[in-house]
A = this chain, B = another copy of it.
């Protein structure tokens, strides 16, 4: 596991602001987040595959990839989802207000929303909020942190990561922010994320980088398996580092640090999952294809019986092995091996003698639990990070009332 970010680095070419405009009840909590690019940035997006998706997802999807993005505006507290034609209109107006404030076109502004579903945006508050944010953007860490707080809903704290890539004597900065505590929290929707760099990247490079890195990071986290209507991950490259466009080999090096930053952020989401007491790392190895490995890892990570076993510190290998069996993947059960926190529990179709107390203590003694499955069917692998399932999750989601 990588060390958490010790220091925030701010990629050149971006300005930040976060303000409170009244979407959240607590006046000390930012609910508008604005990121402005000094010059047109290349931008890419990956979005929820939910057939029921929010207005801002439709807006951004139609405008990415792009080489002329000037801003990203995010509101928290209201998802602008299931809001019909009025929702589309409100989303377009959010972009238009930002555009007017910064001297750009509405088409050059991306929008994200997260919060309650099925309620129209209070546009009067949002108009004031955007104007206030546009008037106070900054390039230092405090402004970045305001913007990172402005996208949160039920999160317990900001989720950010930074990396620096030294490539052929040049220095590229990468920083990102994300949010999410349930795939859908109580009537609050969404995983949102933005990753920024000052590297000069083409539109195609930006889109390919984001798609590849998202598949291995943000697409590998599970809280409750319930896909949101608003999930959005954006990447903006300002090019403000100032040098020549990156070669393919330089992009590959940048990708390494980009993935590290996204992985660090992505893991923060299930770690902060509603009621979570464990972060479960599921590694599935030796599969015929990565798709097979991911299917198995997801079934294990989503099983409420596996999740509750880990909550209870119970090395209940039968629940894990049986979840592997119903993932829809062909494999030889007699070759399957299972390790939990590096201790062998299952091999050759039969249980292995192990000290249950030692395994139980290793689960109870650490926030992270490592489930390792090996199938010996090929070379492909996948890793999923997930929350466990606790009484607090159920209370949080059952006791809440709309």
Question: B-contacting residues of A (Cβ < 8 Å)?
Answer: 49-53, 81-84, 116-119, 182-184, 186-187, 189, 224-229, 302-305, 308-309, 311-319, 321-326, 329-331, 333, 336, 346, 348-351, 356, 360, 389-391, 393-395, 397-402
Contact = CB atoms under 8 A, between A and B. Distances in A.
Contacts of A186: 316
Contacts of A323: 226
B182 A324 contact: no
B84 A322 contact: no
A181 B366 CA distance: 31
A346 B82 CA distance: 9
B49 A398 contact: no
A330 B117 contact: no
A319 B184 contact: yes
B84 A348 contact: yes
Nearest to A303: B226
B390 A398 contact: yes
B322 A117 contact: yes
B117 A311 contact: no
A356 B51 contact: no
Contacts of A308: 393-394, 397-398
A21 B86 CA distance: 68
A304 B189 CA distance: 14
Contact of A394 (B183, B187, B311): B311
B52 A305 contact: no
Contact of A187 (B53, B224, B227, B318): B318
B226 A52 contact: no
Between A326, A333, A394, the greatest number of chain B beta carbons within 10 A of the residue's beta carbon is seen for A394
B184 A312 contact: no
A304 to B, nearest CB: 5
A227 B322 contact: yes
A153 to B, nearest CB: 14
A339 to B, nearest CB: 16
A402 B187 contact: no
A16 to B, nearest CB: 30
11 contacts: A51-B324, A82-B318, A82-B349, A117-B322, A184-B305, A186-B316, A225-B302, A226-B319, A229-B325, A313-B401, A393-B394
